[in-house]
């Protein structure tokens, strides 16, 4: 009986299982081949990743086929060889094959960008279909690729027909009891997978590439969708709340600061002495500007002559690290000066309005504040975040949704101001011209201004105005980096002719690196970014070398400006003798704390890993660290999570 079922009514379903697993094997093999030069794989680790991968692939096949198995269970015998059943079967198979092959194509492109299976980034991208679809269309020959997917679907259906898979299915005879046994078994297996095989079980090694290759893309996608919000207190190692804040307050305490509350708070008064400067401040947050692109950090290609020249004659942070791997993480660090918390960035969370941001400090100092973005600020909730925290908005908005209850202004960049545009926004040159126009108007108003600029040109599809740099538009990352550097140079040239330039400080910093993937689950070298403070009076050719984080840029700047202010920031003045060098880095789930050569990585399910980090070799060796180091790592992340959830980051 079972033989007739497996070779009969369920023949199409089980044949699909075989095709899916075979195709998954080929995808995994291809990704392994491109990863071999970047990671150390032993023969046993390769065997292991394929075995674990098979388990996840089979689970995905079950999930995709369960609904059709119920159809096969309930389909009466007399309707087996009918036109209706043929239409339903062909339609289901065509749709499920299209989804399968298209997801495999998406996995390849996602790996090319992030060297990872689908994660929270892929989930986020589904929300912003305009940017993503246009980005794919501009980066890849989409009609050709969709045509190729359809051709693969047709080829599989042809193979099924040639092997008489459909004939056996449509002419089979089966009993309801036999069908119930098969469908029930598939359902039980599916439920077992869903309840007991978490995606995190694939993180079993110290080789990040091995872990990622062991996973299945679709399985990873739904796991990321399910875990988009993570409660630190529920999933990570904790210490008593009072102890966490005590450790952080001790960490932040300096001779020139005094805490304003004895409760679980970090709010304090910072008193700086010396001459006080109140210049305009323009921050250029550069998309994906890895430190490794600059000659100052060893690059031999000459990609960033402008930035390297600026680095030689201004204030340069040489040992600074991004907090995350996404633009919204960089924005979070630069505006809130807070460690990354698990799950979504605060930029994208509810309850993120009226926060004690860096912008709030500028506001209290009498500054106007503007957020400039060359794309649609609806993406990643940027407009709502900046608008609800007192910034005026200037963006290339298509989506006009904007909550004006925050009494801020939104300006749409007009077509007449745009000479080049791609999926992510207008070219950096066009954006900088918009900033200059806005700065002229702010200068005439008589108030100092603070501007947060987010660029987009150094992002796939890496297209930009032709004739500006030697690389052709769309040719790859190197051309985009060179163009961004060129655009910054042109921006500074135009600024230098303005009456407000002499009293304007420019900060140039990356939001994150171009790639964060490496052999280790958090590759420290892939978080190293440049930060340059340009045109700061009396501070030329100054290198700031202590280990530090994006969150430390503004507290250090405020010291150099001589400001006294109220701080609710985790960031510190790196130049303070009391400063303890450290960096805070993270992904959506893993949170890292680097103190000198001691590295702590906190993960869900209260999993902690400790290493000794060798910067010269970029090597992490498992090691037992003092409990005080682990406690400090926990204190940073736990207190930051509690501070936001309890309203302590709010005004």
Residue 455's nearest CA partner among 336, 323, 327 is 327
Which pTM value belongs to this model? 0.79
Residue 469, C-beta contacts closer than 8 angstroms, at least 6 positions apart: 479, 482, 483, 486
Residues 186 and 299 in one domain: no
Q: Do residues 548 and 531 touch, judged by C-beta distance below 8 A?
A: no
- Cα 251 to Cα 257, 464, 635, 636, 637, distances in angstroms: 12, 45, 10, 10, 13
Decide which of 513, 539, 569 is a domain's last residue. Answer: 569
Return the structure tokens found at 170. 């449509």
Residues 87 and 180 in one domain: yes
Residue 405 lies in a domain: yes
Report the CATH number that the domain containing residue 461 is assigned in CATH: 3.40.720.10
Residues 220 and 368 in one domain: no
Residues 411 and 308 in one domain: yes
- Cα 542 to Cα 535, 536, 605, distances in angstroms: 12, 10, 44
How far apart, in whole angstroms, are the C-alpha atoms of residue 364 and residue 353? 17
Residue 70 lies in a domain: yes
Residue 473's nearest CA partner among 434, 429, 441, 443 is 429
Residues 110 and 188 in one domain: yes
Collapsing DSSP states into helix, strand and coil, what is residue 578? Answer: coil
Residue 432 lies in a domain: yes
Decide which of 569, 603, 635 is a domain's last residue. Answer: 569
Residue 584's nearest CA partner among 644, 526, 636, 521 is 636
Residues 205 and 296 in one domain: no
Residues 219 and 279 in one domain: no
Residues 191 and 339 in one domain: no
Q: Do residues 475 and 393 touch, judged by C-beta distance below 8 A?
A: no
Decide which of 528, 554, 569 is a domain's last residue. Answer: 569
Pairing label, strands 528-534, 504-510: antiparallel
195: left (phi over 0), alpha (psi -120 to 50) or beta: alpha
How far apart, in whole angstroms, are the C-alpha atoms of residue 310 and residue 305? 9
- Concatenate the DSSP letters of all residues of 345-356 into one string: -GGGSTT-SSB-
For the chain of 651 residues, list the mean pLDDT of each consecutive stretch of 10: 62 95 96 89 94 96 94 94 95 96 89 80 67 72 87 96 91 89 93 88 85 91 72 88 96 94 92 93 97 96 97 97 95 97 88 95 97 94 94 86 72 95 95 98 96 96 95 95 98 98 98 84 94 92 96 97 96 95 92 96 91 94 96 98 93 85
Return the structure tokens found at 339. 């460690």
Residues 433 and 317 in one domain: yes
Q: Do residues 65 and 17 touch, judged by C-beta distance below 8 A?
A: yes
How far apart, in whole angstroms, are the C-alpha atoms of residue 223 and residue 209? 18
How far apart, in whole angstroms, are the C-alpha atoms of residue 451 and residue 431? 12
- 10 Å Cβ neighbour count for 104? 19
How far apart, in whole angstroms, are the C-alpha atoms of residue 527 and residue 511? 10
Collapsing DSSP states into helix, strand and coil, what is residue 183? Answer: helix
DSSP strand E in 455-572: where? 504-510, 528-534, 542-544, 548-549, 565-567
Residue 370 lies in a domain: yes
Q: Do residues 288 and 509 touch, judged by C-beta distance below 8 A?
A: no
Collapsing DSSP states into helix, strand and coil, what is residue 568? Answer: coil
284-305 core/surface letters (b: 16 or more CB in 10 A; e: else): bbbbbbbbbbbbbbebeeebbe
DSSP state of 414: P
Q: In what helix (H) or strand (E) does residue 393 lie, and over which residues does it extend?
A: strand 392-395
Reported as half-sphere exposure (CB side, CA atoms, 13 A), residue 282 has a value of: 27
Return the structure tokens found at 575. 């130049």
Q: What is the CA radius of gyration of the chain?
A: 27
| Chain position carrying tokens 């402008």 | 306
Residue 263 lies in a domain: no
Return the structure tokens found at 322. 């991004």
Instruction: Specify the pLDDT at position 117.
Output: 87
298: left (phi over 0), alpha (psi -120 to 50) or beta: left
Give the residues across from 593 on adjacent strands: 584, 600
Number of domains, the chain: 2
110-124 core/surface letters (b: 16 or more CB in 10 A; e: else): bbeebbbbbbbbbbb
Residues 556 and 431 in one domain: yes
CA torsion 13-69-123-640 (nearest 10°) is: -130
How far apart, in whole angstroms, are the C-alpha atoms of residue 287 and residue 455? 6
Domain that holds residue 175: 2-226
Residue 625 lies in a domain: no
N- to C-terminal Cα separation, the chain = 71
CA torsion 354-358-364-369 (nearest 10°) is: -80
| Chain position carrying tokens 């608008």 | 387
- 10 Å Cβ neighbour count for 141? 10
Residue 237's nearest CA partner among 613, 623, 598, 591 is 591
Cα 561 to chain centroid, rounded:
32
Residue 524 lies in a domain: yes
Q: Do residues 342 and 230 touch, judged by C-beta distance below 8 A?
A: yes
Return the structure tokens found at 626. 């003092």
Residues 161 and 286 in one domain: no
Residue 620 lies in a domain: no
- 10 Å Cβ neighbour count for 410? 18
Residues 353 and 411 in one domain: yes
Residue 394's nearest CA partner among 411, 416, 378 is 411
């Amino acid at each position: 009986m079972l033989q007739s079922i497996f070779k009969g009514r369920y023949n199409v379903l089980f044949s699909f299982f075989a095709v899916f697993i075979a195709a998954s094997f080929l995808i995994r093999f291809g990704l392994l081949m491109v990863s071999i030069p970047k990671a150390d794989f032993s023969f046993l680790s390769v065997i292991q990743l394929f075995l674990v991968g098979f388990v996840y692939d089979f689970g995905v096949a079950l999930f995709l086929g369960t609904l059709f198995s119920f159809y096969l269970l309930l389909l009466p015998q007399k309707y087996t060889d009918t036109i209706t059943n043929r239409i339903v079967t062909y339609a289901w198979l065509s749709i499920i094959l299209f989804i399968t092959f298209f997801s495999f194509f998406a996995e390849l492109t996602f790996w090319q960008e992030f060297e990872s299976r689908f994660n929270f980034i892929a989930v986020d991208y589904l929300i912003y279909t305009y940017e993503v679809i246009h980005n794919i269309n501009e980066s890849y020959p989409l009609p050709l690729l969709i045509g190729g997917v359809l051709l693969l679907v047709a080829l599989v259906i042809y193979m099924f027909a040639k092997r008489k898979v459909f004939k056996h299915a449509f002419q089979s005879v089966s009993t309801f009891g036999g069908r119930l046994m098969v469908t029930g078994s598939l359902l039980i297996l599916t439920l077992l997978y869903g309840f007991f095989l978490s995606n995190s079980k694939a993180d079993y090694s110290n080789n990040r590439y091995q872990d990622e290759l062991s996973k299945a893309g679709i399985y990873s996608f739904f796991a990321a969708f399910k875990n988009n919000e993570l409660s630190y207190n529920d999933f990570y190692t904790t210490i008593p709340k009072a102890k966490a804040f005590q450790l952080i307050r001790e960490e932040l305490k300096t001779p020139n600061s005094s805490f304003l509350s004895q409760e679980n708070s970090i709010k304090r008064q910072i008193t700086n002495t010396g001459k006080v400067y109140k210049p305009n401040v323009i921050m250029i947050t550069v998309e994906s500007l890895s430190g490794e692109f600059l000659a100052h950090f060893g690059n031999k290609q000459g990609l960033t002559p402008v930035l390297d020249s600026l680095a030689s004659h201004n204030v340069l942070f040489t040992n600074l690290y991004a907090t995350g791997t996404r633009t919204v993480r960089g924005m979070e660090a630069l505006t809130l000066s807070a460690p990354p918390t698990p799950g979504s960035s605060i930029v994208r969370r509810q309850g993120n309005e009226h926060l004690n941001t860096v912008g709030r400090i500028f506001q209290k100092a009498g500054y106007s504040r503007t957020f400039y973005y060359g794309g649609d600020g609806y993406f990643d909730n940027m407009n709502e975040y900046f608008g609800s925290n007192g910034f005026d908005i200037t963006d290339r908005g298509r989506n006009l949704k904007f909550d004006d209850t925050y009494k801020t202004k939104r300006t749409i960049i007009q077509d007449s101001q745009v000479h080049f545009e791609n999926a992510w926004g207008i070219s950096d040159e066009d954006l900088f011209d918009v900033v200059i126009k806005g700065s002229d108007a702010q200068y005439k108003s008589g108030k100092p201004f603070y501007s947060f600029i987010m660029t987009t040109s150094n992002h796939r599809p890496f297209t930009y105005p032709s004739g500006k740099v030697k690389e052709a538009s769309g040719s790859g990352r190197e051309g985009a980096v060179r163009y961004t550097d060129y655009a910054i140079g042109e921006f500074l040239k135009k600024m230098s002719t303005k009456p407000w330039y002499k009293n304007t400080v420019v900060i140039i910093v990356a939001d994150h690196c171009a790639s964060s993937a490496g052999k280790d689950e958090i590759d420290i070298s892939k978080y190293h970014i440049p930060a340059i403070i340009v045109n700061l009076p009396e501070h030329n050719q100054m290198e700031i070398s202590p280990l530090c984080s994006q969150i430390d840029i503004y507290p250090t700047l405020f010291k150099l400006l001589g400001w006294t202010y109220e701080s609710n920031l985790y960031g510190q003045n790196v130049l303070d003798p009391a400063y303890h060098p450290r960096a805070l880095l993270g992904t959506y789930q893993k949170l890292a704390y680097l103190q000198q050569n001691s590295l702590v990585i906190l993960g869900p399910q209260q999993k902690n890993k400790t290493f000794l980090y060798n910067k010269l070799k970029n090597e992490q060796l498992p090691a037992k660290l003092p409990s005080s180091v682990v406690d400090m790592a926990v204190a940073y992340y736990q207190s930051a999570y509690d501070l936001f959830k309890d309203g302590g980051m709010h005004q």
